A and B are shown apart, each in its own frame.
Chain A
Amino acid sequence: MTDLVVIGHGPAAHRLVEAVRERDTEGRWQITVVGEEPRPAYDRVALTSYLTDGADLAYPAHDDAVRVRTGERVTSIDRAGRTVTTDAGDTLRYDTLVLATGSVPFVPPVPGAGAAFVYRTIDDLDALRARAAGRASGVVVGGGLLGLEAARALQGLGLETHIVEMAPWLMARQLDEGGGAMLRRHIEALGLRVHTEVMLERVEADAVHLAGGTVLPAGVVVFSAGIRPRDELARDAGLEVGERGGIVVDDACRTGDPRIYAIGECALVGGQVYGLVGPCLSMAEVVADALFGGAARFAGADTSTQLKLMGVDVASFGDPSADALNVSYTDPVAGTYKRLVVSDDAGTLLGGVLVGDASAYPTLRACVGASLPAAPDRLLFGGTEAVAGAMTEETMVCSCNGVSAGAIRSAITDGGLTDLPAVRACTRAGTGCGSCVPLVKRILDEELTSAGIPVSRALCEHFDHTRAELFDIIRVRGITTFSGLIAEYGRGRGCDICKPAVASILASLGTGHILDGEQAGLQDTNDQFLANMQKNGTYSVVPRVPGGEITPEKLIVIGEVARDFGLYTKITGGQRIDMFGARVEQLPLIWKRLTDAGFESGHAYGKALRTVKSCVGSTWCRYGVQDSVGLAIRLELRYRGLRAPHKIKSAVSGCARECAEAQSKDFGVIATEKGWNLYVAGNGGMRPRHADLFATDLDTETLIRYIDRFLMFYIRTADRLQRTASWLESLDGGIEYLRDVIVADRLGICDSLDAAMARHVEDYSDEWRATLEDPERLSRFVSFVNAPGTPDPSIVFEPERDQIKPVIPEVVSR
């Protein structure tokens, strides 16, 4: 066995070890990692979420073959003897040594700075949080990427926060002056105070003194003014280091000693130190390759960045400071600034800056260095459309994982992939920072189109919008009719796709009975006749039986109605009873009998909540731990009649034996000793999907609040006829994102979702009863407009197993 020792356990070291373990099928390398932090590697990039949400940043642990020594520091390297010595007094032998010692935040040499805080490790943040408690104000020194993040975090801890930057504008390394100015407007709008082009004089216990006499109150001071590579071990061992720090390595990340490599922020490669995670991970991959005889080289890195924090879109890509032609655009009203840098012959995209709206970032970044695929103004405003077609096979789409457009295209064609989740799973594209996902989607759409598979996002020929976009238009503009919508946003007169979709949106937004006025003509026949059309043109009728609980008296009524109208009866999968073979003119008579006996519509015909199935629960069952029937009834009555992009099914199980099959439902609930576990986005049917566990041990009120939000968020954002299962799979960030939205209110919409559901519950009324009470609606329930009393003579039945069955005439083949 050969000994590999890795000094440092940050993201680069973690990636290196994982990459070696993946390749090492023969067990050639014995790996030891020595890290000085008290915990194994974690996701440093997401540090702020640890502070704000208490997120668990730990990476998956290495397998047992890897020895990880945490809380231990290497103090010296003996290159001749090929050993390292640690502060625990141990000496470790190596055949190959990798330095992944990272960097330290740069703290400028001003009086008092030693007592300030930095923003790099979990321990730093713990200390920062402890200090911030009870303080009113904070100062962040440094207005770069990390400084802005730190400032927002301080503000999140309740501090009045100032940012002090020596450069003339924020993010001076990435942005030009115009972009910096626009960014400053956004940052100040968030309530942060910005001081640029100013020198720091000294730091005191509760204040920061700036040159020129300004004094800022500062209960907490954080330095985020750049990094310095940790190169002292290498320096002491006689390895070459750069003039301004950094362990000098070649493009294979090898130092002057062929047995020693350096990766990550401590390495000086091609004369540059990289402080972004992408290049650091690339270096780890290069070394892993070398350890198995590969010839991979680190060929520089894309230093494009996108700041997604703080609700402000900021992106810079390529070389925005290149001395070449500039196309820029400022919109002070919308708060956007956009600039493209193109070569002097206007043929090649060199770089650019986007502030306020970075939607074009993924596509533009992918085009850096390539010939301009469209006029610059189209590139700035055309989003993905203008760019995607111009990508060559080599264009790097996902720089986090190094996936090219060509690799994505061949994965789609070779693997027969047809949806985004499959492409992401297969190529890893878009699984890093996620910024390239729109581009991946675009490539997928193009490949599908060229294979003849339709992918247009447009709802149909009458609307260029998706269902979610139409939902927002209708909600925000307060549109109440299909005519009004299509006149302003569509063309033509609609069809069987857009009309029911819009009818469903109007119903979700609570604009009256679904058969009011022109609404009726928008509905599929099932919604128009409040029953399910069967193959001979008759309808089936399903009264609601909440939770599947029904009295003997009501069972008798159903039996009598079915007998008197000659209907075929069958028990459904949703714990209720379906009656088949009713003609349109019989429907009101049947409803009359049913509603008089206390029944209401079961919405079996609607894209709406169907049933909440339940097991018998703790009331009767020896094993039940909660009253599943009681909860199922409560949920079914709460969500009855709720119109959605597709049908919604639910179930409640009274114990972990799961007799109600809740995990195959759009939302399912399973009782625990302490409360309820909530599962979402399950599906039976054609493409079964096991539901995801959303939250555990909830009390009933919290459970209902989460379900309210889940349903309303789905209704607002899903595509037409998209069940919750595929909706969740199409959400960027999946179940984690959903939790962010519903539990942490990341989008700030929970109040609105809660209010929408409250309105639904309040406004609910039984559609059958409302129809019976309205002569105009009732007038539609005839077979013939000129012979209201005449039954349709084409409807004929014959007997089978003591019930009726339809006689089906000859038809043209489909």
Chain B
Amino acid sequence: MTERSEGIRRRAPVVTLPDEGGLMTEVLDRPPVSVRWQTVCDYDDLPPEDGVCALVHGEQVAIFRTHDGRLYALSNRDPFSGAYVLARGIVGSRGGVPTVASPMYKQVFDLTTGRCLDDPAVRVPAYRVRVSGTRVEVARA
């Protein structure tokens, strides 16, 4: 799975279209019809180093903004409890990998892949997320 996230370095709602890789390549690399981007919120609705949950085509997606402004998206469902709570976990890092810890039983997940770092057999679905203008958009990977 490839994951892409846009490096946003400013909080202000200035349009910071990526100048390398990023949005344009993303769209041109794939047939446009296969990617259904859905706008979920403003970039400024995302608190730094924290998560929110959005309904995307009926699915619960947890969107995280890390300290460096990057965005990540995972399924909101904690596979260990069955509760939809990952967006309410603590965002951090483990050995350089950005992570979220489930608030229920504290297992840690890799934000880039959805893999559970405490139990490699378990993985939660990861989503693609990007910033378009000031808008945050999410799509199924």
Q: Which residues of A contact B (CB under 8 A)?
A: 461-462, 483, 492-496, 498-500, 518, 520-525, 528-529, 533, 535-537, 780, 783-787, 790, 792, 794, 808-812, 814
CB neighbours (8 Å) of A483 from chain B are 67
A462 to B104, CA, bound (A): 22
Residue from A496, A783, A786, A811 within 8 A of B79 (CB atoms): A811
Interface centre among B88, B94, B101 (most CB of A within 10 A): B88
Please report which residues of chain B, range 49-104, place their CB below 8 angstroms from some CB of chain A when the two chains form the complex. 49-50, 52-55, 60, 63, 66-67, 77, 79-85, 88-96, 98-99, 101, 103-104
CB neighbours (8 Å) of A520 from chain B are 47, 50
Residue from B40, B47, B101 within 8 A of A496 (CB atoms): B101
B108 beta carbon closer than 8 Å to chain A: yes
Interface residues on B, range: 35 or more
Residue from A461, A786, A792, A810 within 8 A of B54 (CB atoms): A786
B15 beta carbon closer than 8 Å to chain A: no
Q: Is the CB of A811 within 8 A of B93?
A: no
CB neighbours (8 Å) of B60 from chain A are 784, 792, 794
Residue from A521, A784, A794 within 8 A of B48 (CB atoms): A521
Given contacts A496-B101, A525-B103, 10 further A-B contacts (CB under 8 A): A493-B92, A495-B94, A496-B89, A496-B90, A529-B88, A535-B81, A535-B104, A787-B55, A794-B83, A814-B80
A298 to B46, CA, bound (A): 74
Interface centre among A520, A529, A786, A809 (most CB of B within 10 A): A786
A462 to B82, CA, bound (A): 29
A108 to B108, CA, bound (A): 74
B19 beta carbon closer than 8 Å to chain A: no
Q: Is the CB of A814 within 8 A of B105?
A: yes
A812 to B77, CA, bound (A): 12
Instruction: Give a binary string over B10-41; 1 marks a CB under 8 Å from any A CB, 0 the rest.
Output: 00000000000000000000000000000111
A598 to B97, CA, bound (A): 46
A790 to B66, CA, bound (A): 26
From residue A518, how far is it (CB to closest CB) to chain B in Å?
7
From residue B137, how far is it (CB to closest CB) to chain A in Å?
11
Q: Is the CB of B82 within 8 A of A810?
A: yes
Q: Is the CB of B67 within 8 A of A495?
A: no
Q: Is the CB of B84 within 8 A of A785?
A: no
B49's nearest neighbour on chain A, judged by CB, is A521
A787 to B49, CA, bound (A): 22
A785 to B104, CA, bound (A): 21
From residue B116, how far is it (CB to closest CB) to chain A in Å?
9
CB neighbours (8 Å) of A792 from chain B are 60, 84
Q: Is the CB of A812 within 8 A of B53?
A: no
A520 to B63, CA, bound (A): 16
Instruction: Decide: A499 near B104, CB < 8 A? Known: A535-B83, A536-B83, A784-B53.
Output: no
Q: Is the CB of B101 within 8 A of A495?
A: yes
Q: Is the CB of B90 within 8 A of A500?
A: yes
Q: Is the CB of B53 within 8 A of A785?
A: yes
B63's nearest neighbour on chain A, judged by CB, is A785
CB neighbours (8 Å) of B66 from chain A are 493
Question: What are some 23 contacts across the A-B interface (CB < 8 A)?
Answer: A461-B95, A462-B93, A492-B93, A493-B67, A493-B93, A493-B98, A499-B90, A518-B49, A520-B47, A520-B50, A521-B47, A521-B49, A533-B85, A535-B81, A784-B60, A785-B54, A786-B40, A786-B55, A787-B54, A787-B55, A792-B60, A809-B82, A811-B82
A518 to B52, CA, bound (A): 15
CB neighbours (8 Å) of B101 from chain A are 495-496
Q: Is the CB of A492 within 8 A of B92?
A: yes
Q: Is the CB of A811 within 8 A of B95?
A: no
CB neighbours (8 Å) of B41 from chain A are 785-786
CB neighbours (8 Å) of A812 from chain B are 79-80, 122
From residue A588, how far is it (CB to closest CB) to chain B in Å?
16
A461 to B94, CA, bound (A): 8
Q: Is the CB of A784 within 8 A of B54?
A: yes
Q: Is the CB of B104 within 8 A of A496?
A: no
From residue B49, how far is it (CB to closest CB) to chain A in Å?
4
Q: Is the CB of A495 within 8 A of B84?
A: no
Residue from B39, B83, B92 within 8 A of A537 (CB atoms): B83
Please report which residues of chain B, range 98-132, place their CB below 8 angstroms from some CB of chain A when the two chains form the complex. 98-99, 101, 103-106, 108, 122
A750 to B65, CA, bound (A): 43
From residue B107, how far is it (CB to closest CB) to chain A in Å?
8
CB neighbours (8 Å) of A794 from chain B are 60, 77, 83-84
Q: Is the CB of B80 within 8 A of A496?
A: no
Interface centre among A537, A790, A808 (most CB of B within 10 A): A537
A784 to B94, CA, bound (A): 27
From residue B45, how far is it (CB to closest CB) to chain A in Å?
6
CB neighbours (8 Å) of B83 from chain A are 535-537, 794
Q: Is the CB of B81 within 8 A of A811?
A: yes
Interface centre among A496, A536, A809 (most CB of B within 10 A): A496
A809 to B47, CA, bound (A): 30
A165 to B91, CA, bound (A): 64
B45's nearest neighbour on chain A, judged by CB, is A785
Q: Is the CB of A524 within 8 A of B90?
A: yes
A483 to B98, CA, bound (A): 16
A783's nearest neighbour on chain B, judged by CB, is B53
CB neighbours (8 Å) of B89 from chain A are 496, 525
